[in-house]
């Protein structure tokens, strides 16, 4: 009989839990909102979703150590056993990856990359993973070769929650033509990004710039500046983008406008496939 286990993706803003039987999903739960990545919060999320003693839980995110230096395979750091104080749960966290120069780290995205490579064997290129952190990862021969991380998503959240720009970021619509223009401007003049953000607010307040155009200017400027910084990653490369919400599609559109087509991957599916790969190694 195939053993039941739990797959858990933990991020700062969302937790996604799958109750598994082998490779098959029995149930899925999504928990939105901030939670501390500590044993009590983890145990509260897992409680009631297991049966028997020693049920395996395989998790990714900021729960375990950052161990494996690149270049290496995405799951080279292995699994880290964590005692949650409940003998019914055998909790294992995927170890993150580290880069020496420039100093960088990832916790969670290594699992998504592993899932993507499991479904796309032999794929070489650059994967852009969006979220609170946008991360550009060069993958070759099944290994993570290098990566750079940007706080683009966190900056958008902070601007939306704590500044006057939140009024425009809250609108659900986005003008595509304005977005394309803002991406081009941010890409060509990234040193002006902070001024451009305020200018979008001023134009909306003083000149009646529609909210969907103000939002497009803000997001387009930020993504354009990010593309300027990551040009050595995406130029001339095979590209994939994954994430949740609107940002993955906006990155795909921004790259396409630069003549750099990218495929968009299903981030939850890639995460689950990566956790299955980690669980398979654990169960072997």
Higher pLDDT, 227 or 90: 227
* Domain annotation covers residue 141: no
The Cα 212–Cα 144 span in angstroms is 38
Angle at CA 78, nearest 5°, toward 248 and 136? Answer: 25
Q: Which CATH number goes with the domain that contains 41?
A: 3.30.420
- Whether residue 173 lies inside any domain: the answer is yes
Residues 23 and 98 in one domain: yes
Q: What is the pLDDT of residue 51?
A: 61
pLDDT band at 227 (very low <50, low <70, confident <90, very high): very high
**pLDDT band of 109, cuts 50, 70, 90:** very high
* Residue 192 DSSP label: G
Domain-located, residue 12: yes
| Total residues found in the chain within this entry | 284
* Domain assignment of residue 145, yes or no: no
Predicted pLDDT at 1? 43
| Assigned domain for 142 exists | no
Residue 176 lies in a domain: yes
Looking at the fold, whether 259 and 272 belong to one and the same domain comes out as no
Asked if pLDDT for residue 4 goes beyond 90, the answer is: no
| Segment 38-53 mean pLDDT | 74
Check pLDDT > 70 for residue 50. Answer: no
Confidence of residue 52 (pLDDT cuts 50, 70, 90): low
204, 248: one domain: yes
Q: Does 162 lie in the same domain as 262?
A: yes
Predicted TM-score (pTM) of this structure:
0.94
Least confident range from 68-77, 86-95, 119-128: namely 86-95
Q: Are residues 184 and 235 in the same domain?
A: yes
Within-domain flag for 261: yes
94 & 175 share domain: no
Q: Identify the CATH number of the domain in which residue 170 sits.
A: 3.30.420.310
State residue 13's pLDDT score: 86
Claim to verify: residue 204 and residue 272 sit in the same structural domain: no
Helix (H) or strand (E) holding 118: helix 109-119
Same domain for 196 and 163, yes or no, is yes
Portion of the chain with pLDDT greater than 70, in percent? 97
179 close to 219: Cβ distance less than 8 angstroms: yes
CA distance 251 to 241: 7
Stronger pLDDT, 198 or 14, i.e. the higher one: 198
Average pLDDT over residues 126-145: 97
Q: In what order do the strands lie in the sheet with 4-10?
A: 24-32, 14-21, 4-10, 55-60, 89-94, 79-82
Range of 61's domain?
4-122+267-283
> 13 with 104, same domain?
yes
Helix (H, G, I), strand (E, B) or coil at 62: coil
Number of folded domains that form the chain: 2
DSSP E strands: which ranges in the chain?
Answer: 4-10, 14-21, 24-32, 55-60, 66-69, 79-82, 89-94, 96-99, 104-106, 125-129, 134-140, 143-150, 239-243, 262-266
For residues 198-214, give the mean pLDDT: 97
Rounded to an integer, the average pLDDT of 31-40 is 80
């Amino acid at each position: 009989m195939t053993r039941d286990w739990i797959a858990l993706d933990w991020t700062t803003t969302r937790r996604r839990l799958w109750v598994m039987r082998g490779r098959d999903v029995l149930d899925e739960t999504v928990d939105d909102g901030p939670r501390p990545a500590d044993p009590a919060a983890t145990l509260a999320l897992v409680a009631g979703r297991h049966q028997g003693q020693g049920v395996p839980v395989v998790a990714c995110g900021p729960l375990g150590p950052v161990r494996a230096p690149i270049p290496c395979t995405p799951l080279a750091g292995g699994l880290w056993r964590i005692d949650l104080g409940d003998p019914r749960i055998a909790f294992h966290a995927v170890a993150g990856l580290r880069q020496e120069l420039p100093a960088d780290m990832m916790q969670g995205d290594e699992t998504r990359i592993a899932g993507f490579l499991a479904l796309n064997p032999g794929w070489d290129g650059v994967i852009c993973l969006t979220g609170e952190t946008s991360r550009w990862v060069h993958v070759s021969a099944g290994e993570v070769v290098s990566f750079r991380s940007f706080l683009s998503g966190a900056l958008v959240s902070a601007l939306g929650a704590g500044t006057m720009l939140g009024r425009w970021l809250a609108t659900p619509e986005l003008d595509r033509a304005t977005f394309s223009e803002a991406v081009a401007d941010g890409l060509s003049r990234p040193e002006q990004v902070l001024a451009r953000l305020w200018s979008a607010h001023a134009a909306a307040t003083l000149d009646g710039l529609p909210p969907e155009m103000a939002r497009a200017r803000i997001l387009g400027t930020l993504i354009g500046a990010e593309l300027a910084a990551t040009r050595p990653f995406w130029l001339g490369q095979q590209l994939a983008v994954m994430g949740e919400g609107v940002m993955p599609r906006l990155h795909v559109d921004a790259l396409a406008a630069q003549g750099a087509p990218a495929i968009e991957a299903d981030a939850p599916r890639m995460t689950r496939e990566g956790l299955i790969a980690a669980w398979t190694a654990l169960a072997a």
